[in-house]
């Protein structure tokens, strides 16, 4: 990899051993992917917002960076909190959470605690180079905004934030931004989360190009998150909707698709659990990725004047929750018996000791994929199980 004189000096220790180690990590990471150089990033996004004992080495490195007085060089946002107060077990498992948060804030990270930063305090523009982790954010930035980020890991993300650099390979390069799989849609009733779940499975790490469909912002956000979870997809195009796909030819960069698949209504339906299985759920969870204010308002309306029949959890972006709390709809939701949180449902419910083997039902394709003991239903399904439809 070719480094500038300035980058080489940092690697040689001009800004201290900790910064040199961060630079070395990026050089090794980039070399593994044959990146020719390191390029500046507009912003960073970190996934390591929780403190659990199995990531001990990561926290030690963060502490060393803080002790060395390093600060992030670009706007850097942070994934959701893990639900420290969600259960007693979480308090035990997440011991040290406060200290970790203090460390990240000492590095200059924006404490927004959301995986949906791209609709909030970290909004990239078309063509921006980013050093983001969090697969659901990376796929949205690439696909819906036309910014460029690889799917970076925890630790690499923090090295990018403090150096302000990322290796130039993968989705940062023009030639890798074309679609690879053509996706025909044969469904009258769209279920974007189920579609995302299926596309991750079918495409694995290839980029799908979907028929035109007028997906909403929330659908694009949730569909992408599901695709990036059940597969390793980091870029999708929707013909005539997403910015790099004005036409089918443009979406494929003039190349032929590697394969064509068709997703039918039956395929979407098959992702949903059967009625009896759904009804056996003890918990219903909304919001993975966290709900925006618009999503919360839309779903909350069904709960007005009702009383839930299960434990029902809403998970919102913290900034959205602050606004939502000012509304009468929020008070109606609480009256209906809904719990409203701002943490990550996956992190919070991964410790299932307190919840026992209680089955969770969700309309999130991502949560369905990642959280053990979870079933999937579309919005109508889950509202029915909540007892409000
Ligand atoms: Fe966000 Fe947590 Fe889901 S980080 S995408 S709410 S798993």
**pLDDT digits 0-9 by tens, 278-299:** 999 999 999 999 999 999 999 9
Q: At which of 232, 252, 271 does a domain end?
A: 271
Helix or strand or coil: residue 63?
A: helix
Mean pLDDT over residues 164-179, rounded?
A: 98
**What is the distance between the alpha carbons of residues 14 and 25, in angstroms, rounded to a whole number?**
16
Any idea what the CATH number is for the domain that residue 283 is in? Answer: 3.30.499.10
- Would the pLDDT of 78 be above 80? yes
Beta strands per DSSP E along 292-352? 311-316, 339-341
pLDDT grade for 53, boundaries at 50, 70 and 90: confident
Q: Where does a domain end: 223, 245, 271? A: 271
Atom of ligand 1 nearest to the CA of 225: 5
Question: What is the tally of structural domains in the chain?
Answer: 3
Asked if 101 and 84 sit in the same domain, the reply is yes
Tell me, yes or no, whether 243 and 143 share the same domain: no
216 plus 321 within the same structural domain? no
- Residue 181 main-chain phi, psi, to 5 deg: -120, 125
* pTM for the whole structure: 0.98
In this predicted structure, what is the pLDDT of residue 353? 65
State whether 83 and 17 are in the same domain.
yes
The single residue listed with the structure tokens 């299932």 is 352
CATH number at residue 58: 3.30.499
Mark whether 134 and 252 lie in a shared domain: no
* CA 258 to centroid of ligand 1, rounded, Å: 31
Q: Are residues 254 and 125 in the same domain?
A: no
Beta strands in the chain (DSSP E): 38-40, 43-46, 75-78, 130-132, 165-167, 181-186, 208-210, 237-238, 259-264, 283-291, 311-316, 339-341, 360-362, 374-376
Cis upstream peptide for 289 (omega within 30°): yes
What is the Cα–Cα distance from 165 to 39, expressed in whole angstroms? 5
**Cα–ligand 1 centroid distance for 116 (angstroms):** 9
d(CA 139, CA 151): 8
Which alpha helices (DSSP H) does 68-111 contain, by range? 88-93, 97-106
**Domain C-terminal end among 174, 190, 205:** 174
- Nearest CA, atom 2, ligand 1: 344
Q: In the numeric block, which tokens belong to residue 228?
A: 């990036």
23 and 153 co-located in one domain: yes
Q: Do 125 and 195 sit in the same domain of this protein?
A: no
Name, in order, each residue with C-beta under 8 angstroms of 222's C-beta and a sequence gap of 6 or more.
192, 193, 196, 289, 364, 365, 366
Q: Are residues 15 and 110 in the same domain?
A: yes
Residue 340 β-bridge partners: 314
Residues in a beta bridge with 186: 264
Mark whether 89 and 159 lie in a shared domain.
yes
On whether both 182 and 167 belong to a single domain, the answer is no
Output the CA 257–ligand 1 centroid distance in Å: 31
pLDDT in tens, 323-356: 999 999 999 999 999 999 999 999 999 877 666 7
Supply 95's token pair: 């011991």
Query: How far lies 1's CA from each of 25, 40, 106, 156, in Å?
Result: 13, 15, 32, 17
pLDDT at 352: 72
CB 290 within 8 A of CB 221: no
Same domain, 249 and 301: no
Does the pLDDT of residue 357 top 90, yes or no? no
Write out pLDDT tens, residues 184-227: 999 999 999 999 999 999 999 999 999 999 999 999 999 999 99
Q: How confident is the model at residue 385 (pLDDT cuts 50, 70, 90)?
A: very high
- Alpha carbons 182 and 261: distance in angstroms, whole number: 6
- Closest ligand 1 atom, CA of 135? 5
Residue 254: give the domain boundaries: 178-271
CA of 136 to the centre of ligand 1 (A): 8
């Amino acid at each position: 990899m070719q480094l500038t004189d300035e980058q080489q000096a940092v690697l040689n220790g001009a800004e201290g051993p900790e910064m040199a180690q961060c630079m070395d990590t990026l050089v090794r990471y980039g070399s593994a992917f044959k990146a020719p150089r390191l390029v500046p990033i507009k912003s960073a996004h970190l996934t390591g917002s929780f403190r659990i004992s199995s990531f001990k080495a990561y926290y030690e490195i963060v502490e060393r960076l803080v002790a060395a007085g390093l600060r992030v060089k670009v706007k850097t946002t942070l994934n959701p909190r893990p639900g420290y107060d969600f259960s007693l077990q979480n308090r035990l498992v997440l011991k040290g959470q406060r200290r970790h948060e203090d460390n990240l804030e000492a590095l200059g990270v924006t404490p927004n605690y959301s995986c949906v930063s791209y609709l909030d305090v970290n909004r990239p523009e078309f063509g921006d180079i980013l050093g983001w982790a969090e697969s659901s954010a990376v796929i949205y930035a690439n696909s819906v905004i036309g910014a460029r980020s690889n799917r970076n890991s925890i630790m690499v993300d923090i090295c990018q934030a403090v150096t302000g650099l990322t290796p130039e390979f993968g989705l940062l390069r023009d030639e890798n931004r074309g679609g690879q799989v053509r996706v025909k849609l044969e469904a009258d009733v769209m279920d974007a989360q189920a579609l995302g779940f299926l596309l991750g499975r079918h495409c694995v790490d290839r980029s799908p190009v979907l028929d035109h469909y007028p997906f909403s912002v929330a659908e694009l956000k949730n569909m992408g998150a599901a695709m990036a979870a059940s597969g390793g997809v980091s870029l999708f195009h929707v013909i005539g909707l997403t910015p790099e796909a004005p036409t089918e030819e443009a979406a494929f960069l003039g190349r032929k698709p590697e394969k064509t698949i068709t997703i039918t209504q039956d395929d979407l339906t098959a992702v949903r659990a059967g009625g009896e299985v759904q009804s056996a759920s003890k918990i219903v969870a909304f919001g993975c990725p966290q709900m925006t204010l618009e999503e919360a308002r839309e779903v909350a309306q069904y709960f007005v004047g009702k009383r839930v029949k299960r434990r029902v959890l809403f998970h919102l972006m913290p900034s959205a929750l602050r606004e939502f709390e000012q509304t009468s709809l929020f008070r109606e939701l609480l009256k209906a018996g809904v719990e409203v949180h701002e943490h990550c449902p996956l992190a919070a419910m991964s410790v299932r000791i307190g919840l026992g083997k209680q089955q969770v039902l969700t309309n999130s394709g991502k949560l369905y994929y990642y959280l053990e003991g979870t079933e999937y239903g579309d919005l109508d399904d889950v509202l029915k199980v909540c007892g409000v439809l």
